[in-house]
Chain A
Amino acid sequence: MTSRAHYDLLDPLPVGACVVDANLCVVFWNSPLVDWTRKRPEQVLGKRLDELYPELFESRFLRRVSAVLAGAPPAFFSAQLHGSVIPILLPNGAARKSNTTVSLVKHARTEAPEALIVVEDVTNMMARIEAYEAMRVRANSELEERRKAEKRLHDLANELQRSNRELDDFASVVAHDLQAPIRHVMSWSEVLLDEYASTLNPAARKCLDHITRSAESMRRLVKDVLDYSRVTTRARASSGVSLSDVVDETERTLWPVLKESGGRIERDPLPVIKGDPTQLRQLILNLVGNGLKFRKPGVPPVVRVSTSRLDDPADEPAWQIEVSDNGIGFEPRHADQIFQMCRRLHSGSRYEGSGVGLAVCRRIVERHGGHIGADAVPDVGARFWIRWPLEPPDVNQAPRSDHPDRAQPRPRASTG
């Protein structure tokens, strides 16, 4: 068997394989190497490897191959550190990368030492690694951009929160401090009416009536603004609150209106829910009060309070609280506007109010992680629904406003 025939077994392998003798002359060159190097066997056989690739035969390669021929262990040349020891090309002429292993073999007949050079094309693998690396660099830079954007958003949200807090505090302070002068105006007007009525002519009395009514409107508005700001400045921790007790209390508070209008509050059995007790009372009072206020002329108002459990698996479990009435209702297209601050659908002369009550309701509900909405049919009635989480987020906040609600003494008429 000739050496060549002996090595023919290596021809169909999917790796490049060549054999050199002790003088580094090529004795075998397989088909993949023909394809990859574009050198046919007759161009390489009998030629020294360093004649074929002079640039490659630096001492480091030659020394290691010579050591193998002298009996040393196989030498391994990685694609990472060498690219490719024997230059091999892709069909488009670009360089392939390869791992090359040089092992000692024996000539089939003479047993003379020969070196088998196996070239494993790892171009695809290296390309995948490079693609991965590029992807990683891109992903890292995108991540960094995203982090920066999130930080900007976070800073903005903090800034917004701070600015909202300042506005709340400002509204709270202003509303609080306005109460005293309004009370003074009202008190002094009463003093005038009580003690100097006989000395006033009808026109002056009419002017005084206007002053008293306007002052009363202003007092109500200031109180509502204070209520609105206190939703955040006077928040209390959540605890179990009996809705049934809340409705009882609402009924007691609104008793004069119920009596005067012949109205009533209906209810289903109501659960105990978690929330800020004061705010829950205010929420129900505002909604029920609204139902009684916007009644149809000549029709006794009926306000119904009911609840149901919402157990949608895709959402947090919650209560649905509904407050519906048989009042004048409103156009459905106004359903969103009614929760805006100072937005009123009906004229102030027919229905008293500041337009703050429902804004307060929305603020309370949202602070508890819920949603509030409404629908209505004009002249049939309105229905308010609240999605109230079973476990509201921690809403315990210490009151931020450091000014106490100072009770202003009623002014006394100076008779001196």
Chain B
Amino acid sequence: MSLSADHRDALKELVNIGVGRAAAELNEMLASPIELSVPSVDVLTPDTFSRSFDESGGETVSLVQLPFEGAFTGRALLAFPSESATKLVCLLMGEDADTVTLDNVRAGTLTEVGNILLNSVMGSITNVLAAEVHYRVPSFYEDHKNRILSLERDPTNTTVMAARTTFCVRDLAIEGHIHLVFAVEAFDALLLAIDRASAAA
């Protein structure tokens, strides 16, 4: 199924709604007010997905992963270049970079931020799908981006919806990447659901 301009707008809106909810949630919880925005939403093939990773800067990537299955199957990922991850955790926790480089401190904080963000985005998307989706618990890992890409590259046909997200904390803009990796048919199902929702509106 081909992606129309309307589809793209609808997807961007869905992600924006989700990210907006996540921002409200994070603001209630964190000491530092945080603003989230979604400058761009793209739909990528696995190859262009790799390129978007390459552009994210830095060699190490911190990744929160939320796998899902059911009516449609895939993974929601929130990826930060390692330095951005450190900066974000420092700002959220008021710690300095030396402590934050400890895996456990990073893992806990980033997993929760990723959890809130990905849950909101997935909530916003599954609302239009009206389909049952089962989730696994979120997990965090950090590795060289090439190794992460080799793990994430699915041999079957996949479509990646990539949303660039900017976290603004205390005048600092930190960029993260939301990636929703769907099997092609699952993505088609999403587009159909969007079509149905717009027809009903």
Residues of A bordering B, CB below 8 Å: 59-60, 63-64, 67, 71-81, 99, 101, 103-104, 122, 125-126, 129, 132-133, 136
Contact = CB atoms under 8 A, between A and B. Distances in A.
Contact of A136 (B99, B105, B118, B138): B99
A76 B134 CA distance: 16
A129 B102 contact: yes
A77 B112 contact: yes
Measured as residues with beta carbon below 8 angstroms from the partner, the interface class of chain B is 20 to 34
A309 B186 CA distance: 81
Contact of B135 (A59, A74, A79, A122): A74
B99 A133 contact: yes
Nearest to A63: B25
14 contacts: A59-B28, A60-B25, A64-B25, A64-B116, A67-B119, A72-B119, A73-B118, A73-B135, A80-B105, A80-B109, A81-B92, A81-B112, A126-B104, A129-B105
Interface of B: 25, 28-30, 66, 68, 92-93, 98-99, 102, 104-105, 108-109, 111-112, 115-116, 118-119, 122-123, 126, 132-138
Secondary structure of the B side of the interface?
helix
A125 B105 CA distance: 9
A74 B116 CA distance: 10
B98 A73 contact: no
Contacts of B116: 64
A277 to B, nearest CB: 54
B160 to A, nearest CB: 19
A129 B105 CA distance: 8
A132 B99 CA distance: 8
A78 B112 contact: yes
Contacts of A99: 108
A74 B137 contact: yes
Contacts of A126: 104
A81 B105 contact: no
Contacts of B135: 72-74, 103-104
A76 B30 CA distance: 15
B137 A76 contact: yes
A79 B98 contact: no
Nearest to A130: B99
A73 B119 contact: yes
A230 to B, nearest CB: 53
Nearest 10 pairs of A and B residues by beta carbon: A78-B108, A73-B135, A76-B115, A78-B112, A80-B108, A73-B119, A80-B109, A74-B137, A60-B28, A133-B99
Contacts of A104: 134-135
Nearest to A60: B28
Contacts of A73: 66, 68, 115, 118-119, 122-123, 135, 138
A101 B104 CA distance: 16
Nearest to B111: A76
Contacts of B109: 78, 80-81
B67 to A, nearest CB: 10
Contacts of B111: 76, 78
Given A81-B109, A132-B99, A76 B138 contact: yes
B115 A122 contact: no
A367 B112 CA distance: 64
Given A74-B136, A78-B112, A101-B137, 9 more contacts: A73-B115, A76-B137, A79-B108, A81-B92, A81-B93, A81-B108, A103-B137, A129-B99, A129-B105
